[in-house]
Structure 1
Amino acid sequence: MPNNEAGPIPAPFRDAVDSIRRARFRSELSVSDIPSPSSLSPYSLALSADVTPARHDEDSELGTGRFVLLHDPDAPEAWGGVFRVVCFVQAPLETDIGVDPFLADVAWSWLIDALDTRDARYSKPSGTATKILSTGYGELADQGDGAQIELRASWTPDDSDVSSHVEGWGELLCMLAGLPPAEGVASLSARRAARDV
């Protein structure tokens, strides 16, 4: 449910929410509304997604993510527009992939590819990609070594039709979870092969 504590919902935000409702996601992705932040902008909508979640209300062991659409009719200078998308995706990895020095670059390029493949129009992209390596000890020794990738990103959509933006986020989450890429987006193994040539 959109956050609209600032009063009547402006038409551009209503149009943006409608475009999100029309978005199409891969069948492996379960997407639902979650409470949206009220402190970041006057109007917002937040979604949660899990790749083939095993249990209701628990993050997927394959990949999880959040997508937040912010709207401020006053167009904050830092945004460069009246909308801002803020998203997060996280997925476990094989340890040998987690130590790849190019992993963060690949994760960021997958986001850009997923948006560009869908002709999403945007400006001011920013974000961080974080590789997490872990080793279990004591009672957690049986878990052994593990790795995760987290990508946090934001960008300014050029207009209120943000369906391609939310679809790109969903595709990124599926790819990080190890699902085959959609047409037009290179896989990690293809990028490795190109780099090794």
Structure 2
Amino acid sequence: MSDTHEPTAEPEAFDGLRAFVSTGGIRSETTVTEIPSPSRLAPFSIALAADVSGVEHGVDSDLGTGRFIALYDPSEPAGWAGAFRIVTFAQAPLEPEIGVDEFVADVTWSWLVDALAAHGAEYDHASGTATKIISRGYGDLADQGDGAQLELRASWTPRGTDLVAHVEAWEEIVAMLAGLPPSSDGVTLLGPRRLARD
């Protein structure tokens, strides 16, 4: 007797994310596109890229870039506490003197929390890292001088199935890491390039 069980269909929540991409997102300074998604993390996934300053995805923007992946597994894996899990990444360059500021990572994580709250994106089980990367060129790269970069990697379990507020908050973070002001009330106006002066 053959198994007539139909595979689980892609969740309707992904349609909302594709509609978000088709509207151009919430910020004129970013370009959001759908990109190939990883196939081994969950039965279903969708991935988006955002690049600052209208740069089409393909070559990451020098000003800031990010990735947003929504995973769906109806078996609700341990640690997710739900069928959906969001995984994000954002990075942007910093002035070296700001990169050494001891509070940059803390402020970056607070931006994520504030952006999620400002967009009404409710979640559980958040985790992540904020990483400062300080670099110095040597040899043929010595002329580049010192450089710094800020990276935010975070994941969380959304409450409910409407993922649009979550992708809005992520697009906000990508822009803010690039030094742009927030577009929403409830997110601090401090930028990483201004921390040392404030």
**TM bin (shorter chain):** 0.7 to 0.9
Preserved CA contact (<8 Å) 1:54 1:60: yes
The residue aligned with 2:9 is 9
Scaled by the length of structure 1, the TM-score of the pair is: 0.88
Give TM-score scaled by structure 2 length: 0.87
SS of residue paired to 1:186: coil
Structure 2: segments with no counterpart, 5+ residues: 1-5
Cα deviation digits, residues 45-65 of structure 1 (max 9, x gap): 001111015566210000011
Q: Is the 8 A contact 1:98 1:149 kept in 2?
A: yes
Partners in 2 of 1:118 and 1:29 — Cα distance? 17
- From the superposition, tell whether residues 123 and 98 of structure 1 become closer, same or farther in structure 2 (CA, over 3 Å): same
Name the % identity. Answer: 58
After superposing on structure 2, the runs of 4+ consecutive aligned residues of structure 1 that deviate more than 2 Å are 21-25, 53-56, 187-193
Q: What is the Cα deviation at residue 184 of structure 1?
A: 2.1
Residue equivalent to 2:42: 41
Partner of 1:69: 70
Which string of whole-angstrom CA distances, capped at 9 and with x for unpartnered residues, describes residues 8-55 of structure 1?
A: 524xx22x1122134332011111111111111000000111101556
Measured after TM superposition, the shift of residue 141 of structure 1 is 1.1
Q: Secondary structure at the match of 1:188?
A: coil
**Number of residue-to-residue matches in the alignment:** 186
Correspondent of 1:18 among 12, 15, 24? 15
**How far off its partner does 1:187 sit?**
2.5
AA aligned to 1:135 is: R
Structure 1 counterpart of 2:81: 80
Name which of 173, 183, 189 aligns with 1:187: 189
Cα shift readout 1:48-100 (whole Å, capped 9, x = no counterpart)? 11101556621000001100000001111210000000000000011111111
Aligned 1:1-150 pairs, distance under 5 A: 7-10=7-10, 13-14=11-12, 16-23=13-20, 24-54=25-55, 57-150=58-151
SS of equivalent to 1:19: helix
RMSD, matched Cα: 2.0
Can you give the 5+ residue segments of structure 1 that lack an aligned partner in the other structure? 1-5
